[in-house]
Structure 1
Amino acid sequence: MAMYWKICMALTLALFVQVFAQYQRRKVGGWNDVNEDNQGVQTALNFAREEFNKISNNGYIVKIIRTIKLKRQVVSGTKYRMEVEVTMSSGNNYETESYPDEAHQTKICRFEVLSIPWQNHIELLNHSCK
């Protein structure tokens, strides 16, 4: 019986250590790195670009060149924080990429998007481009 107790304690301790290690790597409700290939990130990036272009008076994002930092936070849905390098144009036809090179400016943009797929809701919370 004593051996059974020791085995149970060892297994419980091992399980506790494993759960604690997982928690340290990914804190519940905290911001976590996310891969560029993630479908949610791609949806959020495209949405942020479209919304920015609708409301912008300072130019239009023509193309996202590269991602710099991507974070995700699970809340009542998913929040995405994205820092990307973009090319921008002051032209009014931002859907095409056929601008001359001299009309493009490279900027760093930061977006925060909230996505609640089961409610068919997506929202641009914050944005800035410098």
Structure 2
Amino acid sequence: MSAERAMQLLRAWPGLTWTEASCGTGCAVCSQGCEIVHFHSASDADLHLTGRMIRRLGDQLRRSTAIRLLPESQWVTVHLDNDADADTLLSLVSAALQAHTACAGAAPGCNWNRVTFPDRRDDPVS
């Protein structure tokens, strides 16, 4: 449900286009030909944040139960359980758009099928 909300809001952002994700699963949001977000399911999205932006936001990203980082990946995975997670994704999309000053072609593979999330429904901190 939260992925649907995030997609709906992103459709109103200027300069973004939509296509099939290059990993073959789900749809991609692109800016200037660069894939920025892959929506893989109703609850998971990969975001091409770039290595530089991940290093810059690293401490904050690691504190979030909705975000998974993989070593050496320029992508972060956001688990979309609720509207707050969707809002987090939208904030990170904004950061990703700032980080993508120039697109050098296809981004290295996203994190699809490489991360897992525990069930957070009973987690009072979520």
Task: Give the TM-score category using the shorter length.
Answer: under 0.3
Structure with higher helix content: 1
The TM-score with structure 1 as length reference comes to: 0.26
Larger radius of gyration: 1
The TM-score with structure 2 as length reference comes to: 0.27
Structure with higher strand content: 1
